[in-house]
A and B are shown apart, each in its own frame.
Chain A
């Protein structure tokens, strides 16, 4: 089935994020070749032009490199991948914190809540 995209962010940015996550999870490793534009379009049910835009964006972020006549590859530059990893972490945390604050939680409540939550997960995992 064609994948579902949420409706407020541009599709190409959602694809960028999706590929970034695949890299973080190790589904795409440094030096791996990305699917061709058409291939990616078919996989995700997205217009090839949009995929093109996604790849351009990723290239701008230096996360991928396109080699002439060979295709697009995940960068082998560990620093860039580390930075991306760090950046995504920051983004995700800032999202979380913003929405917690918007609901009126104090900073200490957030930190506290997180610690308790994480220790519970650890507890359930070690069982």
Chain B
């Protein structure tokens, strides 16, 4: 489904990823965890084709990615910049017009679930509601790959809860693979199938969440703490 083959990404002054290999399959929710600057966001942007690897190749459904892989990938950025002149509904409609796989009924269901007012101007939305809108736009697409960069970051527990429940309700695991980066590990632990730890641009480990508990008798937080010791 998604393959990263010896991927290295260097920026001007830093090396974000050092020759990582990853293979991600449909039907699973992956958590990409690690401290700030460990290379989580870089990995997602690479899969979305929004940046290019310095070395190595990235493929989604066997297609080498560039920007236009957007037809198969729904990417949620950690930034919440939207076109401020649009209302919530106009934003939904605009997104819907750009992606042929956008399901307007699903979008409406999610909007009601998230209790977003369709007439509010995007620039007047609270941070929590912008977070909800992002989730809506990302999940309303019937797309094979969903990438979410820090979907819970900076949101209060109520919003996090509605987002986690929204994710469970609206992801179609028969046809989709979801990759979430986060450092709010506790909130998403029960949501994940697999957890991949990144440290200093390298994969520090990959586990099935329940296997981690069975084999190591640890939850993700304890495991992470050990990796980062």
Residues of A within 8 A of B (CB): 1-2, 5, 7-13, 38, 41-42, 44-50, 53
Contact = CB atoms under 8 A, between A and B. Distances in A.
B1 interface: no
Interface in B190-210: 190-193, 209-210
A45 B213 contact: no
Contact of B168 (A8, A47, A53): A47
B1 to A, nearest CB: 15
Contacts of B213: 7-11
Contacts of B169: 38, 42
Given A7-B222, A50-B190, A45 B168 contact: yes
Given A42-B169, A45-B164, A2 B210 contact: no
12 contacts: A1-B157, A7-B213, A8-B217, A9-B213, A11-B189, A12-B210, A41-B168, A42-B168, A42-B169, A47-B29, A47-B191, A49-B27
A45 B55 CA distance: 39
Interface of B: 27-29, 157, 161, 164-165, 168-169, 171, 173, 187, 189-193, 209-211, 213-214, 217-219, 221-222
A79 B165 CA distance: 37
Given A2-B187, A11-B209, A47-B193, 5 more contacts: A2-B161, A7-B218, A41-B168, A46-B190, A47-B168
B217 A45 contact: no
A42 to B, nearest CB: 5
B190 A2 contact: yes
A5 B217 contact: no
A9 B214 CA distance: 7
Nearest to B192: A47
Contacts of A11: 189-190, 209-210, 213
Contacts of B164: 2, 45
Nearest to B211: A10
Contacts of B193: 47, 49-50
A79 B218 CA distance: 36
Nearest to B165: A42
Contact of A47 (B190, B218, B221): B190
Given A1-B161, A8-B213, A12-B210, A49 B28 contact: yes
Contacts of B209: 11, 50
Contacts of B161: 1-2, 45
A45 B210 contact: no
Nearest to B219: A7
Nearest to A48: B173
A10 B210 contact: yes
A30 B97 CA distance: 49
A31 B219 CA distance: 35
Given A1-B161, A10-B214, A11-B209, A48 B168 contact: yes
A7 B219 CA distance: 5
A7 B189 CA distance: 10
Contacts of B192: 47
Nearest to B27: A49
A53 B191 contact: no
